[in-house]
Each structure stands twice: as structure tokens, then as C-alpha cells.
Amino acid sequence: MDKKPSRRPPIDSAWRRLASQWWWLAIPSVVVGSLFAVWILFNEAGREMRYGEFKKKLVAHEIKSVKIGPTEIRGELTQKPVGARTARFHVARVGLENNDPDLARLLDQNIAEGAWEAETGPSIAESVVLPFVLLAAMMGGFWVMLRRSGGVGSALAFTKSRHKVYQKDERRITFDDVAGNAEAVAELREVVDFLRTPEKFRALGGRIPKGVLLVGLPGTGKTLLAKAVAGEAGVPFFSLSGSDFVEMFVGVGAARVRSLFAQAETKSPCLIFIDELDALGKARGSGGPGGHDERDQTLNQLLVQMDGFDANRGIIVIAATNRPETLDAALVRPGRFDRQIVVDRPDLVGREDILKVHARTVALDDGIDLRQIAAMTSGFVGADLASLVNEAALLAARKGKPKVSHVEFEEGVERVIAGPEKRQRVIRHDERLRIAYHEAGHALVARSLPGTDPVHKVSILGRGNGALGYTMYRPEDDRFLHTRAWLENTICSLLGGTIAEELIFNDVSDGCASDLQRATQIARRMVTEFGMSPTLGRVSYQTEGRSPFIPGGGSNSYEWSEQTAREIDLEVRRLLDQAQAATRKLLKERRAALEEITAVLMERDTIDATELQAVLDRHPHDSHAA
Ligand code: NHX
Ligand code: ZN
């Protein structure tokens, strides 16, 4: 789904080109540096000698050449001493010896003319140029290291934001390019309306969204959605990744955020898209030892900027993440990313639509049935489908076929599944069947019992949060109170998943933990907080909410006996057992409906409220029997 638009060179490309040319300076610097090091090695000073010994050797003609420097005498012996690495030697000039009047005469007498000279000190080359070259070499080496480690990219353009800007006149991506995400598109239309006519919203004085968080697995098309919003609204699109902000040097990321918003303000109305928000938006202080000052500062700056800009100016920030639970709580507070849109995995119909979009650019065989290909690819996300189409086209090309046919798609599916990223894309058939029965069980029980929240959607495509399947309820907005019947029936629908598994497979799975936890919690509160147990009476057995600072308010001082505590446990148990029996009876009676809902789920991955109603209508039941 993530089709790359033909993009114009980004505005700061000149900077980056410069930075990438500077990189070549590193190579000569390193070469010069190493040459210098070698030169030093070869100029090894050799053996240290005392002045007296030097004079003796001079007289004995054992010295070939000498250089008299201001602080030392360096020279070479006529013969390399046995076992030494070099014939060189040096003598420190200290004290009286410095001004030995004999020295010049001795040298003249014992060494060939021209083989001794006086040095006045290091040459200009040595004292000025060499340190500079050395420094340059070190910086060059450092630069290369940074480039290698992927740390600082264009370290020259430190605070320059590295976002890409998409201008109006590019090929616009619109909602037509987005397939299989109908719900997310519907929610984003409002954002488009605002970007198109900010004045209208301003005049009405309504609260305008500042930030929208797209939550979904990698490859589900979050970036594409954001581009489509910009494309539909015809506004510039600033795009960058959260990881671009996090740098090696404290303060750089924060400066980038400022620069980004400053630029955006000059182009409003416009849209800022931050991919991988979790890279910079992780809960503050969650870094390891030493902390993450840089990231925290960057995050703070982002919060400041989001609070600072007036929503009426027409800037909207859309961010994407696949781990919303790791985000700092401050990011999702009102006035920031207060709107979350879930971008789910596409279901059968969604996958077919996505395949249609990608097939626009590929020559397909006439006999091809995209629905059938969609059916083979349960669990694939948009990006997977894009690479499937690509693989199939490559395979056809390799075989010299003019058109892509079904065989290539089948082969392509396997390639994508076995692809480089080891992401769980497909679920074993037997597990998928179990998940389908489980969710069908929840849905059927919920729809069969009066008063419970209506089922909005059931899916056996896992969510990013780790759930393998889910039944989504649409709570009635205006409900503030829950009756005893509602609570009991809700327990039943929570148990419905496991009991459906038990009914069909004669065995249950460990996937029910969270269902069971919620059911138990409701039952316990019915007994201890709501006074709904006939045996324990209309009494509150609450332990929470009392202050530990008030004497007698501590949680250890029970206000009821051990006997009562046991009765509470038994009563909770009785409520759950009762609900379980009722649920089992119900599912047995409506087994035909259970089977059909499961069949729909197995075929299409999801079922919505209308389709569910249609199935139930085919299998009527007097719903008040339970
Ligand atoms: C396991 N996962 O722990 C495997 C890996 C029973 C068909 N053995 O009850 O997905 O069991 O109706 C939100 C809510 C993870 C997030 C529930 C993340 C449960 C969910 C554990 C379906 N749907 N269980 C369910 C499920 C599991 C889990 C969740 C979550 C399954 C069940 C997960
Ligand atoms: Zn469940």
C-alpha cells in the first residue's frame, strides 16, 4: 500500500549534498594521518645516550651524523648496535653541557663535513601544519565513525530539520489510493474538511483537532493515509520520522522540532506527519541508566510546540505508532494527540480492494480472480500485498510470460510469508478455527441476551496489541448505570468465547485469561460493592478507597470475618458457575448460528453488525429463554 510518490528533491537537499561531499574529505585526512604516523615511527629517536658517552663515541669515530637541536642532539651511529632496532640515538642537552665550547670543534674534527648541522627548532611545517593535519585526520576519522554508526547523519546541518516536504503540485495521493481502510478514512474526512476550510471551522468556534494518532501494525498504510489527507485537502505535507529527532547531541532534536514547526507555520494550512512517534514519545524517564535527556528534551519541545500553536492556524499533526501503550501519557492528553484512529489489518474485502489498487500497474491475466488471492492471504497487511503483487510480476517476467497469472500469485504468497522479516502473518489453520469459534461464541451470546451492549464488529485478524481476535462492542453512549441483568449477561458473553471452544473441541485454550479476569472482576464487584448477592445481602465489602492515613482505614483491618471472606469467594464462584451453565445451554441451543458465524469469520476474517444480524435472522431463537 505504501506506494512511493514521485517526489521532488526535498528543500534541504542542497545541504545534504554538501554534507555528503564533505564526507570525502575524511579519506585524504585519514591517509595523511596514517602517513604522518608512519613517518613518526620511522623517525624513531633510538637509544638514549648520556653526553659523556656521546663525546667518547664521537672521538672514537663511532658516529656518522649529528643534528644539534635546541633541546637534544640526535644522530646516527656508524654501526647499528647488536640487537638494536636502529642505529639512531639521542642525547638530552641539559645543564652545563648545553654550552660546551668543545663541541663544535670535536664535531668538525670527527665527522665528515656536512654530516652535522645545527637545528634552530621545529620548522614551521612541523609546528603549525602537522598538528593541523593531525587534527583534521582525527576529525575525519571521527566523522567516518559517526557515519558508520548511523548516529549523526548530516552533522553539518545539525539543527536543520530533515523532513521531506511534499508540495501541492505533486501527483496527489487521495483517498482513492487508500483501500481496505474504510473506517480510518471515514474518520479522517473530518480532518480534511478542516484543512480545506479552516475559516469555516474558525467561524463556528468549534474545537479543532490538533493531533491525530494513527495506531496500527507496520505496513497497514498509516503513512499512505496521512499523505492522502494532505492530498485530499491540497495542503503541503511535512513528513518525518520520530527517529530523525533523536540524535547524539542533547538539544539537537529539540531544535529540529522548533525548526519544523516554524517552517510549517509559514505554509499553513498544512499537515505535519511524524512516523514512528514512539521513537521520541516513549514515556519520559523510561530510559536506562544515565537517562535519555536528548529524547526527553525533544519530547518536551514537541509538547510545547503542540500547545503553542493556535489550532486555528490550520496546522494538523498526524502521528503514527504501532505501540501506543508505550507513549508518554502527556502526548495523548486533550489538545495533543487526543484522537486515536486504529488502522486494522484488512479483511477479505479490504485485501481484494488493496490488490485492485496495486494491480492497476501490472498486466494481469484475464482469468485472474483477486478475491481468490485475497482469500489466500488472511493476515497480510497492505505492504505485504504490495510485495506480493511485485513478487508475482517478477516471477512472470522471469518465466517470460506476458501477463501475471494465478500460479505466480500462489508462488508469491509463499515468498512473502517466508520473506526477510519474520513477522507473524499467517496463523495455523486449526488455531484460526479456534479463534473463529471463540469470537463467534462471544458475539452470539452477546446478541442473544437482552440488554447487553450491541456487537459492533467481530474479527479474527489480531490487533497490534497481541490479541488474536476480538469482539468489539458499541457501548451505548448514554448509559451510565448498569443493571444486574446487564452485568450478569455481560459475564455470560465474556465466558461465551471459552465455552464455544469447549463445546466444539471438547477442550479449552489458555487464550481466555483476560476474558476470565474481566468476568471475575464483574462478579466480585457485584457481590462486594453493589450488594447484588442474595446470600451476602445488600452490604458493601469494599476495601479500596479508604485512606491509609486515617486510623482504622488501613487495608489490613478487615471489617468482616474470615467466614464472610469465604462466603464472598463462594458467591463469586456461584455467580460465574451460574453464568457458565446459562451460556453453555444457550450455545448448545444456537449451535447452528454459532457454526454459521464461524464460517463467515473463516471466510472473510470479519463480520459487522449487519451481517451478524442477517445470520441470526436465519437462525431465529426465542432470546428471552435464558
Ligand atoms: C496466549 N495469546 O497467551 C496467546 C499467545 C483466545 C482466541 N496463549 O479473548 O487473543 O491468548 O475475545 C486485549 C484483550 C493478548 C489484548 C485481550 C492481548 C488477550 C482475546 C492474550 C482470543 N478475544 N488472547 C479474546 C486472545 C492469547 C491477549 C489482549 C488480549 C483468543 C484472546 C491472547
Ligand atoms: Zn475472548
CB atoms within 10 A of CB 501: 21
Distance 511 CA to ligand 1 centre (A): 5
Predicted confidence band at 435 (pLDDT cuts at 50, 70, 90)? very high
- What mean pLDDT is reported for the chain? 81
Atom of ligand 1 nearest to the CA of 512: 6
Identify the CA nearest to 302 among candidates 341, 326, 328, 268. Answer: 328
Q: Which of 46-55, 62-71, 505-514, 557-566 has the highest mean pLDDT?
A: 505-514
Domain 23-125 in CATH 3.30.720.210? The answer is yes
- Residue 455, pLDDT score: 92
- Place 560 in a pLDDT band, splitting at 50, 70 and 90: confident
Range 148-162 average pLDDT: 49
pLDDT in tens, 100-140: 777 777 777 777 777 777 766 666 667 777 788 888 888 88
Ligand 1, pocket residues at CB < 6 Å: 435, 438-439, 442, 465-471, 497, 509-512, 514-515
User: Which of 43-47, 162-166, 409-413, 439-443 is predicted least confidently?
Assistant: 162-166
pLDDT at 503 over 60: yes
Q: Does the active-site annotation cover 611?
A: no
Tell me which of 432, 468, 501 to substitute to probe ligand 1's pocket, judged by most ligand atoms within 8 Å of the beta carbon.
468
The dotted CATH code for 348-418 is 1.10.8.60
Q: pLDDT value at position 4?
A: 41
Residues 366-386 have a mean pLDDT of 90
Domain 421-618: CATH class, spelled out: mainly alpha
Choice between 624 and 528, residue whose per-residue pLDDT is larger = 528
Place of cell 514512539: 278
> Any idea where the domains of the chain sit in the sequence?
23-125, 164-343, 348-418, 421-618
Q: What are phi and psi of 596, to 5 degrees?
A: -70, -40
Distance 443 CA to ligand 2 centre (A): 10
Q: Point out the least confidently predicted range of 128-132, 224-228, 231-235.
A: 128-132
Q: Is the pLDDT higher at 466 or at 158?
A: 466
d(C-alpha 278, C-alpha 274), whole Å: 10
Q: Which residues of 58-92 are buried (b: 16+ CB within 10 A; e: fewer)?
A: beeeebebbebbeebbbbbbeeeeeeeeebbbbbe
C-beta separation of 91 from 54 below 8 A: yes
Percent of the chain with pLDDT over 90: 29
Among protein residues, the one whose CA lies closest to atom 20 of ligand 1:
467
Q: pLDDT grade, residue 514 (50/70/90)?
A: very high
Residue of higher predicted confidence among 447 and 462: 447
Q: What is the mean pLDDT of residues 44-54?
A: 78
Residue with the bigger pLDDT between 588 and 310: it is: 588
Class of domain 164-343: alpha beta
Mean pLDDT of 399-414: 90
* Cα separation, 552 vs 77, whole angstroms: 96
Ligand 1 atom nearest the C-alpha of 438 is 7
**42 — pLDDT class (breaks 50, 70, 90):** low
Most confident of 147-156, 270-279, 439-448, 563-572: 439-448
Q: Is residue 527 predicted with pLDDT exceeding 80?
A: yes
Confidence tier at 31 by pLDDT (50, 70, 90): confident
DSSP state of 562: H
- Which ligand is nearest to the Cα of residue 510, counting in written order? 1
pLDDT score for 11: 44
Give the pLDDT of residue 433.
Answer: 96
Most confident of 32-36, 279-283, 295-299, 356-360: 356-360
Instruction: For residue 460, give the ligand 1 atom closest to its CA.
Output: 7
Q: Which ligand is nearest to the CA of 434?
A: 1
Residue in the structure block whose three cell numbers are 582525527: 138
Name the residue of 345, 514, 520, 583 to mutate for ligand 1: max ligand atoms within 8 A of Cβ. Answer: 514
In the set 439, 488, 502, 571, the catalytic residue is 439
% of the chain at pLDDT higher than 70: 81
Q: Give the global pTM.
A: 0.66
The answer to which of 81-85, 156-160, 311-315, 613-617 has the lowest mean pLDDT is: 156-160
Neighbours of ion ligand 2 (CB under 5 A): 497, 515
pLDDT in tens, 285-304: 655 554 567 777 888 888 88
Report the amino acid identity of residue 302: L
566-590 core/surface letters (b: 16 or more CB in 10 A; e: else): ebbeebbeebbeebbebbbebbeeb
CA of 442 to the centre of ligand 1 (A): 13
- Residue 151 vs residue 580, higher pLDDT: 580
Tell me, what's the pLDDT at 393? 92
